[in-house]
Structure 1
Amino acid sequence: MTPKDETELADAVAQAKGPLRIRGGGTRPVGRVAAADTLSVAGLAGVTLYEPGALTIVARAGTPLADVEDILSAEGQRLPFEPMDHRRLLGTEGTPTIGGVVAANVSGPRRVQAGACRDSLIGVRFVDGGGTVITNGGRVMKNVTGYDLVKLMAGSWGTLGVLTEVSFKVLPAAEAVATVLIGGLDAGQAVAVMTRALRSPFEVSGAAYAATGPDGSRVAMLRIEGFAESVRYRAEKLVALLGDAGEIRIESNPDRVRRIWTWVRDAERFAGTPGDVWRLSVKPTDAARVADRLGAEDLLLDWGGSLIWAEVPPGTDLRGRLAGIAGHATRVRGAGGGLPAFHPEPAPLAALAAGLRAKFDPRGILNPGIMG
């Protein structure tokens, strides 16, 4: 089913006789949905409001992400949270949609400075499991009472409702960008360097490390963005601060810098490789322990070490191997030997999540089982 507008979508949900698999662009097939009819939001596309002066954009959920980014770019603006494109990592085709970005709370390297997708999201419209259209938030940042549905919908993976429209605060694009590259570090040393950089006054907007970087060697990557003179000054000051860390240089060619951070953002290190790929959220100080526990150091660290991408042999119980290290582990690619893709929730949180799903989808028809 591909409804052409919100009314048709609400009718389709209200009249559904069984489970529905909610589909945006089909580029992020994470988790498993029980046998279900597919309900696509691709017919709900288009930017409905854009006010560059107010730094606000509103778009229907099926709008291609690239369309939103092109409209913003034409006015020298951007989505602050730098959403990832999963297609190379997962080997999928299709077109990423802005609704899919929200449903999965997709956030890239700039999260360390600008926050996650949910932090820029200021309004949503969605259809709940009974076919009712619900609106929450709006076109300005404000406090809320009761359920903060804007935040709840971000990262709910279509289990609370089918998004039909989303609203964002946006930011001006950077005039210039540079990346400080430091070679020869292991994971523990890289986390220490990234921590120093993020705690510095130089406004680092990306902090990542790879044992096999874009050029095949170990490298820590620290990004600085802003006005050209400010970027130059802050990059030089950061080099002076970290000068004792190892082999260090500044990359200021905008095309090369953009390529580096696309590589990090999209976890391209593992594109086309044969293993299961996991996305781990841990304390940065535990990143080296994760590397040791997995018996290898070939990981991709982002967000200063608090986000780790890891590839393991198919079917590996990665959560079992990392027992005792606090955090979350989500299997993004691979069958995982039948293990659930999403990290099991602690009992109190699971009860709260079940209560929310019962409230918004009492029939249990929206993406059932996807997070199980």
Structure 2
Amino acid sequence: MSPANEAELAAMVADATDPLRIVGGGTRAIGAPAPGEVVSLAAMSGIELYEPGALTLLARAGTPLAEIEALLESEGQMLPFEPPHMGGLLGRDGTSTLGGVVATNAAGPRRLQAGACRDALIGVRFVDGSGTIVKNGGRVMKNVTGYDLVKLMAGSWGTLGVLSEVAFRVLPKLNGATLAVQSAGPSEAVDIMTKAMTSPFDVNGAGFVPGEAVYIRVEGLEASVAYRVGQLRDLIGGEIDVIDDPVASAKLWQRLRDVTDFAEGSAAVWRVSMKATDLLEQIEALEGAEYRLDWAGGLAWVRMVDGAAEADVVALHQALQAACLAKGGHATLMRARDAVLGQVPAFQPEAPGVARLSAGLRQKFDPRGVLNAGLMGA
């Protein structure tokens, strides 16, 4: 099914007697596929409103992310949270959509400064599990009335409602430069990133590629960038190269954002997020896997070696999720073979209190359990 507009979408959901599998562009799907008939939002595409002077954008949920980015680029603007394109890593064909970005609460390296998708989201329209059209937020940044369903929908993976329209605040696009700092290992890398992030020099990207470098990014006006790069070189010390060409710097962070280093092959890949010092312990204990660090060490992308036994993949997955549950983090199995996905949950199991809250929300928004059933343990 492919509704052409919000009214058709609402009717499809209201008439559903069996589960529905909600799909945007299909590039961010993880875990075992949710059961049910596919509802594709690809036809619900188009930009409703764009006001560069007001820094606001409103579009239908099925609008391709690339179309949004091209429009913003033409006006020297950007989505602040730097949404990653996951199709390459996950081996998915299709076109990433704006609704998919919101549903997964996507965010790239700039999350350190700009926050995640939900922090730039100012309004949503969606259809809940009963087929009711719900609107929350607005088209302007100063809108704080009522319950904040805007942030609730971001990261709900289509289990609470089917997004039909989303509104964002946008920001001016600025030039950047990157410091490539040599590091002996993950512990030293985290120390370097911590030093940069706690400095007054407005760093908005910090990541580590083992065997390559720690990367520190600053953005802004040309003179400001040059000054901050110089100050960071003095602060951090050691062997440092500077990538001061804005295009080259942007390509580097696109590579880190989209995890293109791990795109080849079919080996299992995890996205692990927790406090940097706790994550460091997990990284240093890894065997039979490689990793990349982002968010100043608070996010790790972990890839199992090619050809690893199914039992070893399951064991590492269970160990990562157990460590995250104990320390307040999240480990999500982003990519794996079907045999593994059939044995373990891709999403981090929720703590008992959170699970009760989640179940209550699902009961309110989707009492019949027809939206992406089972995707997040619902």
Please classify the TM superposition score into its range, dividing by the shorter chain length: over 0.9
Alignment partner of 1:362 is 2:364:
no
Corresponding residue number in structure 1 for 2:193: 194
Q: Deviations over 1:297-346 (max 9, x none)?
A: 83100000001000124533334334445211000000436110000001
Q: TM-score, normalization: structure 1?
A: 0.94
Asked whether 1:218 is paired with 2:212, we answer: yes
Whether 1:333 and 2:332 are equivalent positions in the alignment is: no
Partner Cα distance (2:155, 2:112) in 1: 18
The CA RMSD over aligned residues, in Å, is 1.5
Does residue 61 of structure 1 match 2:66? no
Change in CA separation of 1:74 and 1:203 when aligned onto 2, cut-off 3 Å: same
Is this contact kept in 2: 1:185–1:219, CA < 8 A?
no
Aligned runs of 1:200-349 on 2, under 5 Å?
200-211=199-210, 217-243=211-237, 246-295=238-287, 298-312=290-304, 313=308, 314=310, 315-322=313-320, 323-324=322-323, 326=327, 327-335=329-337, 336=340, 338-349=343-354
Alpha-carbon separation, structure 2, partners of 1:355 and 1:332: 26
Letter in 2 for 1:72: L
Secondary structure at the residue paired with 1:188?
Answer: helix
> Structure 1 unaligned runs (5+)?
212-216
CA contact (8 A) 1:32 1:371 kept: no
Q: Between Structure 1 and Structure 2, how many residues are aligned?
A: 364
Alignment partner, residue 181 of structure 2: 182
SS in 2 for 1:299: strand
Relative to structure 1, the CA distance from residue 299 to residue 34 in structure 2 (aligned partners, 3 Å threshold; closer, same or farther) is closer
Following superposition of structure 1 onto structure 2, how do residues 54-133 of structure 1 map, counting pairs within 5 Å? 54-133=54-133
Identical amino acids, percent of aligned pairs: 53
- Report the secondary structure of 1:82's partner residue: coil
> Partners in 1 of 2:146 and 2:139 — Cα distance?
19
1:296 CA displacement: 6.1
Q: Could you tell me how far apart the structure 2 residues matched to 1:226 and 1:324 are? A: 38
Alpha-carbon deviations, 1:234-268, whole Å to 9, x = none?
Answer: 0111011001xx32111112222112101100111
Residue pair 1:88, 1:271 contacting (<8 A) in 2 also: yes
**Residues 158-180 of structure 1: CA deviation (Å, up to 9, x unaligned):** 00000000000100000x21000
TM-score relative to the length of structure 2: 0.93
Summarize deviations over 1:90-138 as a string: whole Å, max 9, x none: 1111000000000000000000011100000000000001111000000
